[in-house]
Structures are given as structure tokens and as C-alpha cells.
Amino acid sequence: MFPDCERKPHRCYRLLQKPLTVAFGDDVGQMACHQRRMADTLPRIIVVDDDPELRALLQRYLSEHGFAVRTVADGAALRQQLARTPADAIVLDLMMPGEDGLLVCRRLRADGDMTPILMLTAKGDPMDRILGLEMGADDYLGKPFTPRELVARISAILRRTAAPARAIADACITIGPFILDPTRMTLTRDDAQVPLSSREFAVLAALAASPGRPLSRAQIIERAHGRDAEVTDRAIDVQIVRLRKALGDDPADPRWIKTMWGVGYVLAEARPC
């Protein structure tokens, strides 16, 4: 009971009509500001799925696990959201009517948007996964999945994005005309940024840490993504193809990333800036 409510109920009524910050001083206002600041520091996730029930479920679950979540039903709404406020990661359903997840992913990458993408694919369909990686997705998760696994995958993507590749120091590295900056997680040429997904950057950083030294696919996976990462050799091959394209390498006779038959891949040239 508020003070004096029993003796002066009219006073309590007037008190309750006032804004909380007026009635109780600045404490509530300061608490609200603190909560807003906390929300601003949460990882920002956008869920893209045409199923409203699944969107609501994922929004509730991810919000309870420390993410600031927005949900949209299609690619057009996603682009509007990104133009308004950037995201730290996107959870993107593959099978959507009209513009499906692959087209949404490809359009984002073509526009230079490298926001990490976790693609939700059909369970047990490796072709969907390969196509998603080829379009620039950073990871995939087969349906049906547990919400806990989704949280783990998103967290792994955010860790890869937030920190430089494990195998490389903070100093930038020159690869011919390109500059690889692990602190900013960027690859540039003539001051223009070369679009790379977080996984592609991690693979290039792992190779750049050992220039001239062949690395097996298993070594690349461990150095770029971690020992426990669920990454296949085929996924590494796909990322190498995309890296060669980004570097302008001739796939028939690559200059930068060479194939060592029976071993793996090697970055031919790299030196500290």
C-alpha cells in the first residue's frame, strides 16, 4: 500500500494519475533508460519466414535468450528493415513463396550487404545447403530443428563476426593489390571493399596466416571455424570458389589461391602491411 492511502485515498488516486517519473522521482525514469541502453547492446536479429506462427515462436524464444529480434515475412520487408536499422545476423527461411531465401540472399550480397545469414533449409537436402553457401550464406540449419540449436548457431555466427580469425594477428596483411584487415574484418582493393561473408573471410584469414604453406581442408576448418564446427569439406570447396571469384582469380589457373592436389589449398602470396 502506498503511504497515507488508508487515511487519504483521494491523495493516492491523484498520485496514481501522475507519470511514474513524477510520482516517484527519477528512479523509474533512470531504470527505463538503463533498460533501453541494455536493449541497444543486445545482438540484433531479423527472422525472415512466411509462417506467422513460426515467426512469433522464434521471436519469443530468441528474445528470452538475449537477442533483440525483429520479424518479417519476405525479402522486401527485410530490405526495408535493414535500410532503417542494420542487423547483426539474419535467420532466413529458404522455402518462401515468390522471392525465396536463395534469391533474397543473392540480392543482399549483390547489393554489398554482408550481414551474416543463417539459412533454414529442408532437412537432409545437401543441395539446398550447397546452393545457400554458394549464394553467400554463412551457415545453414536443417528443419526441423530445436530452438536451442538455433540459438547455438546464431551465437557461433556472431562470435565469428565479432572477432578476427583465430589464426591471424591484428596486423593487416597484403595479398597482391588486396589488403586484409582482421580487426575490421574487411578485404579492400584500392580503398574499395570486396564483399565477403564471415565464413569466407575466416577461410581467407586462415590461409593468409600461413602464406606459401598448403593447408588441408581439415586444417582450414579448424583454423577458420573451430575444431567443433560442423563444416564439410564440400563447404570449404564452395568458399574457395567464391574467394577466387572475389579475388579475380582464374579458376583454371589461379594466381592467389592454388589447389594442392591430394593436400588442400595454399595462398601463394601474402605479407604484413
Overall pTM > 0.85: no
State which of 100, 127, 162 marks the end of a domain. 162
| Average pLDDT of span 202-231 | 83
Statement to judge: residues 59 and 146 lie in one domain: yes
Continuous H helices in 97-168: 101-110, 126-135, 147-162
Residue that terminates a domain, selected from 118, 138, 162:
162
Sheet holding 186-189, edge to edge: 192-193, 186-189, 178-181, 173-175, 271-272
Kindly report, residue by residue over 169-183, the tens digit of the pLDDT. 466 889 989 999 887
Looking at the fold, whether 150 and 206 belong to one and the same domain comes out as: no
3 CB-contact burial (10 Å; exposed 0-12 / middle 13-18 / buried 19+): exposed
Residue 67 lies in a domain: yes
79 inside domain: yes
The domain total for the chain is 2
What is the per-residue pLDDT for 30? 52
Q: Which of 108, 141, 162 is the last residue of a domain?
A: 162
**pLDDT tens digits for 144-178?**
889 899 999 999 888 876 654 444 446 688 998 99
**pLDDT value for 102:** 92
Are 46 and 73 within one domain? yes
Does residue 64 form part of some domain?
Answer: yes
Q: For residue range 68-79, list pLDDT tens digits in order.
A: 999 999 999 999
- Provide the CATH number for the domain around residue 133: 3.40.50.2300
11 inside domain: no
Q: How confident is the model at residue 130 (pLDDT cuts 50, 70, 90)?
A: confident
Task: Please name which of 260, 226, 213 lies closest in space to residue 240, comparing C-alpha atoms.
Answer: 260
* Domain span including residue 59: 42-162
Q: What is the pLDDT of residue 164?
A: 43
